[in-house]
Every structure is written in C-alpha cells, then in structure tokens.
A and B are shown apart, each in its own frame.
Chain A
Amino acid sequence: MKELEPANRGLAFGNVKLKDVNIAILIAALVSSLLVPLTGLPYLRFIMMYFFAYAIYTASWDLLYSYSGQLSLGQALPFGLGAFFTIMFIQKIPLIPSAVLGTLAAAAVGGSVGATTIRLKPGYQGIALLLFSQVLYQITLILYGEEGLSIFSATPLSQTTMYISGVLIFAVAMFAIYLIQTSTYRLKLLAIKGDNLAANVSGINVPVHKAIVFFLSSLIAGIGGTYYAIFTSHADFTVFAVPNSFLPIGMAIVGGTGFLGGPIIGSAIITLLIRILPIWYSLAVTLFVYGLAVMAILKIRPTGIIGLLLRRKTAKGGPKAAKG
C-alpha cells in the first residue's frame, strides 16, 4: 500500500465513506460561508472571499496533480492570466462578459501552454510551467509596472454582491470539480497517472487526455483568478510570482490531496494563517511559517488533515483500521 494519496485510492475503488466525508466538508464550507456575514466582522468576510478564490485555485491544482499525475509548479499561470485578462476586458466591456471572457482566455492560454509540456517527464514538466509563469512575471512587470492594473469604476460592486457572487462561484466551481472527480472519466485519468504506457496500451489516448485535464484545470484556476481580480479590483505582476504558485500546492498538501475536501480544508487553514498572522508579524514570517508547515506535514503526515479525518472514521469502523 502506497503511503501517499489514500483519498485518491479510496475514490478509485468506490469508497462511499470517502465521498461522504468530502461532501460533508463542502457543505460545512458552504454553511460557514453563509454564517460568516452574520458575525458582523468585515475582515473575516474579506478573508472568506480570499478563501473562495484560493479554494478554487487549490482544487484546480489538485485536479491536475491527483488525477493525471502532472505536477504543476506554475499554476499561477492560469490563475494570474484569469486575473489580468478580466481586468483588461473590464476596461472595455461590462463586468460579467469580462469575467466570462477572462476565464475562457485563461483556460485557452494556460491549457495551450500546458499542452506543450505533456511530453516532458513530471519534474521537468513542473519546471517548464514555472518557466512560463516567470516569463509572464517579467512581461507584466515591464508592461504594467509595479502598480499593475486596477478597476476604476464609478459604480463599484457592493461588498454584499461580491460576497454572494463569491459563494455562488465557489459552489459552482466545486460542484464542477465534484462532477469530474466522480465521473467515469476520472478512471481514464487515474489509469494515465498510474502507468502511462499501460494506459496507452489499453487504448487511452494519453497525450489528448493529459491536455484535456490541463484545459479543465486552467479553466478552474482561471475562475479563481477572475474572482480574485474582481474582489480585489486589481492585478499586478506578483500574481505570477513563485510564492503564488506554491500557494495552492501547500494548501493541497496541508489539507490532503485527492478530492475536494483536502483543498477546502487546506485553503481554509492557510488563508486564515496568511491573512491573520501578518497583523502581528511580517509577511515574510508568515510565508516562512507556511513553508515550514508544508514541510512538516509532508514529512510527518503526507496524507494531510483529511487523511487524519479518514483514519479516525475508519478506526471507528473496526477491522479496516487494523489493515489501514
């Protein structure tokens, strides 16, 4: 039994309990997103908006990693493209078409770039994607300077509208990922992940499906980036920076890879960490702690927090615990 990715394995073998846990986490996230405005704490509401964007972003990285075995070290590419395209379109056309077009453009560009890397070995593929995010980091820095692009609107969206749309986008994106991760299509992806050659021999067109999952992942990351740009009304070169590419990786590792629940838990914890710790300490200290936390979790408990939850659940179940 492999130590890594138990969530993934459980799903592949139709483990109903695993689905239950993940759906419970999704519902808990949605309920708490509805409860947060009742607390009357504006900063917490603001953090929740970051959480929506980051959870979508993390789930998009995890889709790529856990379902096709492709490690992207440059997931900031589609995320940042979504943010930049949306802000660029908003200068010319209304908000909603801009958001849709921005997301689609991010999916198209991110997916195309990703598709060029699918023949490389996993490690090299990851760095090839990092290369493109670094290239865009430089280009956006030169084109738009350190201040980046901002939305200047005479009638800005109210915080309430922004929050409600965040909840809706979060729910829709997570449901879309849920559909992908429970469809029979995932079996093809898991086969590719398990063994490229064997999948090829069994008639799966490996490069095509690897590219498809790249487009899907870029689309979802683009949704996250678009929402991020809209609620912060801003996009600058730092969205393409490596710490931003590391963000979803660390979040997925902390929460646990393999299904919706991990990215949701991970992004909730890390968003709280990186939004609350800087109140007392600097951002560098926060990111330092974040890096340490990811190293510690990956070393001590590679299954993440969801692994702990599942372990407890199977322990109650009796004999499974002894085997697991």
Chain B
Amino acid sequence: MNNVNTSHGAFYMMGGFLTFFAVSSLHLPIVVSIMFAFAAAFAVGLFFLYVLIPRRMWVSGDPDAQNTVMILFLALAQVLQNGAFIVYGGGSVAVPRISFGYVIAPGGVYIPNQTIIAIAISLLCYLGLFLFLRDTKIGKAIRAFSQDRELAEAMGVRVSTIALMSFGLGVSLAALSGSLLSSIYSITAATGWNELVIAFVIVTFGGIGSISGSFLGGLVYGIVFAITQYFIPAYSFAIALVLIYFVLVNKPTGILGEIIERA
C-alpha cells in the first residue's frame, strides 16, 4: 500500500487482548479464541481503514499523504493503547497456553510446547502468505500493483480490494502474533512499540516488499538477539537493534529489496 502502519504494534497488543477477551469473557477454548482474535482483528483493521483514512490516501505515493497516514495511525495507536488501559488497567493479562509442558531437545535444551506451536504457526503463516501472494488471483494482483501501479490499474486491478486485503491481512497477522506471544511473554496495554521497531528492523533489513527477506531478517534478528542476550542480557534488545540498524544504514536497500530514496 506504500504506507507504513505505525499502529502495527498496537494491533499486536490488541491481538493479545482480543484473545484474552475471548477466553475470559466469551469463555471460548484457547484455540478458538486465537481464531477469533485473527478474524476480529481483520474486521477491526478494515473498520479503522474505512473510518480513519481518507480513500485517496489508502494507496498513495505522495509523501504528504504518507505522512498524514502515519500520523493518523500513530494517533490510532495512542487511542487503542489507552482504550485497552481504560478497560483492562495497566497490569499484564494472562492468556492461557495452548499446550503446557516442554520437549527436551538434544543438548539438554528445554523448549516449551507453546514455543514450538508458535514456531509452527508462524511457519504456516509464512508459507500461507507466500502461496497466497504467488498463486491466488488477489495475491497476484497485489504483487502486480506493487510493481507498477498504473499498469495494474489499467489491467483492471481495483485499488480498494488491494488496500483492504493487504491491510486486513497485515493487521490480522500482527494480532495473531500478539495472541500467540501473549502467553509466552506478558502483554500489557503499553506493549507494542518494541515489537513495531523490531518489525521495522527485520523488514527493512530483509528488504521492503520481500516476504523471503522478512523471513531472513527475522532469523538474523533472532540470532543476534540470542547472542547478545547470552553476553549482555540487560541491553540485548538495544544492542541487537542498533547493530542491525547500522548494517542497514550502510546497506539501505536491505538484503533483498529497495528502500533507498535518492537524496
């Protein structure tokens, strides 16, 4: 869509809270709750896109429009976070795990079942997204649109379909990761900003617009984070981000993409 969604972290937080809401208030089983969060986030995302963002800015290459959209989403993040704060308070909420227990991997490494499930689901999502973009009609339209907007429009690709699908999917995936990770890490109303900058570093490191790049970027971030966590645990977040950022500054195109603007 050519836009940077600055409320992505807030949607991550919202995913955790939607799951918590489904479990605690609707008394749904945890797996159904996660599905509920995924679907509800899609609907909520589309609602905000319709209500908040002027239609001509849904997909726009104009820097002014892009900045306006970023500020609108930032304001939305503030509203969502404080809304969650008003409803659930400032403490963290406990989302139950899908499965308790752990597996002992070779070398005596304890891996909780929940982590394995989260990895499996994220791999499935990655694969699903990859196939969706590669093979389905809408996926092809999204790719065509991101390569050459005018030509794609001339071929009958509808801007609104692209914007709705890509935004809705993005929000749903953020919410899904929120609902999966909220049972591993705690989640509070203020959660989301670290996740946003991590996502930013990963995506730009891999190359904007490249799903495989994001996969690679995520792997690199995870490894760097784990190594720094071993040596300097307190500052691992800061060091991992700044290290990758400076690699990024020296190679602003990312590994598999193009983000640099001629300056």
A residues engaging B (CB < 8 A)? 2, 4-5, 65, 69, 71, 73, 116-124, 126-128, 130-132, 134-135, 138-139, 142, 196-197, 200, 206-207, 210, 242-243, 246, 249-250, 253, 282, 284-285, 287-288, 290-292, 294-295, 298-299, 302
Nearest 6 Cβ contacts at the A-B interface: A123-B4, A291-B78, A291-B79, A288-B82, A284-B85, A294-B75
Contact of A131 among B3, B71, B197 (CB under 8 A): B197
A5 x B64 contact (CB < 8 A)? yes
Is the Cβ of A295 less than 8 Å from the Cβ of B52?
Answer: yes
A134 and B197 within 8 A (CB): yes
Whether B252 contacts A298 by the Cβ 8 Å rule is no
With CB as the reference atom, state the residue of chain A lying closest to B74.
Answer: A246
Specify the chain B residue showing the minimal Cβ separation from A141.
B234
Q: Quick check: A73 and B6 within 8 Å, CB to CB?
A: yes
Interface size of B by CB at 8 A reads 47
A315 to chain B, nearest CB (A): 25
Chain A contacts for B148, CB-based, 8 A: none
| A127 contacts B261, C-beta separation under 8 Å | no
Pick the contact of A142 from B64, B200, B234 — CB < 8 Å?
A: B234
Q: Is the CB of B238 within 8 A of A138?
A: yes
**B72 interface neighbour in A119, A121, A138, A299, Cβ under 8 Å:** A299
Asked if B70 and A120 make an inter-chain contact with CB atoms under 8 angstroms apart, the answer reads no
> Nearest Cβ distance between residue A7 and chain B, in whole angstroms?
14
Q: Is the CB of B193 within 8 A of A119?
A: no
With a CB–CB cut-off of 8 A, which chain B residues contact A295? 52, 72, 75-76, 79
Cβ contacts A to B, 29 pairs, < 8 Å: A2-B64, A71-B67, A73-B74, A116-B246, A117-B249, A118-B263, A120-B261, A121-B259, A122-B67, A123-B66, A124-B204, A124-B259, A126-B4, A127-B197, A127-B200, A131-B200, A131-B241, A131-B245, A138-B237, A242-B193, A249-B71, A284-B86, A288-B79, A288-B82, A288-B83, A291-B78, A294-B78, A295-B76, A298-B72
Bound complex: CA A35 to CA B220 (Å): 58
Q: B194: CB under 8 A from chain A?
A: yes
Give the nearest-CB partner of B246 in chain A: A116
Within 8 A of A (CB), among B39-93: 52, 54, 63-64, 66-68, 70-72, 74-79, 82-83, 85-86
Residues of B within 8 A of A197 (CB): 262
Contacts of B79 in A (CB 8 A): 288, 291-292, 295
Smallest CB separation, B185 vs chain A (Å): 15
Distance between A278 CB and nearest chain B CB, rounded to angstroms = 12
Interface membership of B242, Cβ < 8 A: yes
The smallest C-beta distance from B13 to any residue of chain A, in angstroms, reads 12
**Interface status of B18 (Cβ within 8 A of chain A):** no
How far apart sit A131 and B197, CA to CA, in the bound complex (Å)? 5
Chain A: CB-nearest residue to B80: A291
Expressed in whole angstroms, the minimum distance between the Cβ of A83 and any Cβ of chain B is 19
The CA of A243 and the CA of B252, in the complex, are separated in Å by 28
Cα distance A299–B76 when bound, in Å?
12
Determine whether the beta carbon of B70 is less than 8 Å from that of A126: yes
CB distance from B52 to the nearest CB of A (A): 6
- Is B256 engaged at the interface, CB distance under 8 Å to the other chain? no
Q: Tell me if B235 is interfacial: C-beta within 8 Å of chain A.
A: yes
Say if the beta carbon of B260 comes within 8 Å of chain A.
yes
